[in-house]
Amino acid sequence: MIFETHAHYNDAKFDTDREAVLAELPESGVSPVINVGDSIRSTKETLALAGRYSFLYAAIGVHPSEISGLNEETFAWLSQQTGREKVVAMGEIGLDYYWDKESEIQKQQRYWFKRQLALAKEKELPVIIHSRDAAEDTMNIMKEAHAEGISGVIHCYSYSPEMAKEYVNMGYYIGVGGVVTFKNARKLVRTVEEIPLEHILLETDCPYMAPEPHRGSRNDSRNIPYVIAKIAEIKGISPETVEKTTRENAFRLFSRVPR
Ligand code: NI
């Protein structure tokens, strides 16, 4: 069975057939699934989905591009949700300087990233990190926050193999999804080559990031075998080993998910 560590089944792109897609996942070999919040609204939707599907767990948090929805009141609400059954991580949280180039907004991103990291640490929840075009600031904030004491995953990893090794040394995992199958994925292929399988997690980021040969279409967790095949090819091991080891990794990190 595949452990899917990053999906957004609350997304409007699943509005027409969400029930059907979700119902098929366990019989297609995918379970459990972590559905990841990226705003206050999507966190509420994620919690509702987790209440309906036994194999689906919730990550709660606000994405750097959604921080306009955060204030003391919504942050306090977020904090209250950490104790709920089926909440297994804080995320996705982090920095995104690709979409937000304005320095004042980037400053606010750093502020709310630090607050959410501190909350995760206080509540002993692993973190799901989103970081784009902000490699140095992300690493600096995580070191300042002693994030090695929290543990988590750098989701949809897009930086250098060297930095990946630094995260691995801090006890972190590297999230690998459809991008690894793309023709221009040379940097990520090198990262997968150079870090131990014991620090890789499988993810889709669906409905986005569909792997080849479905690149550009709506993604869902049933496409993860393409990612598994590519990782197996890169590392020269069997797809079964990739599936089994990454599943163990995910259970180790997301320890609130029952086996
Ligand atoms: Ni995501």
Separation of CA 196 and ligand 1 centre (Å):
23
Confidence of residue 2 (pLDDT cuts 50, 70, 90): very high
Residues 209 and 154: their CA atoms lie apart, in Å, by: 16
For residue 3, the CA-to-ligand 1 centroid distance in Å is 16
Q: Read off the pLDDT of each residue in 21-48 and give the average, rounded to a whole number.
A: 98
pLDDT in tens, 59-81: 999 999 999 999 999 999 999 99
Q: Compute the distance from residue 238 Cα to the ligand 1 centre, in Å.
A: 27
State the distance from the centre of ligand 1 to the C-alpha of 63, rounded, in angstroms: 9
Q: How far is the CA of 36 from the centre of ligand 1 (A)?
A: 6
Q: Model-level pTM? A: 0.98
Look at 96-105, 194-203, 231-240 and tell me which has the smallest mean pLDDT: 96-105
Q: Average pLDDT of 204-218?
A: 97
Give the model's pLDDT for residue 258: 97
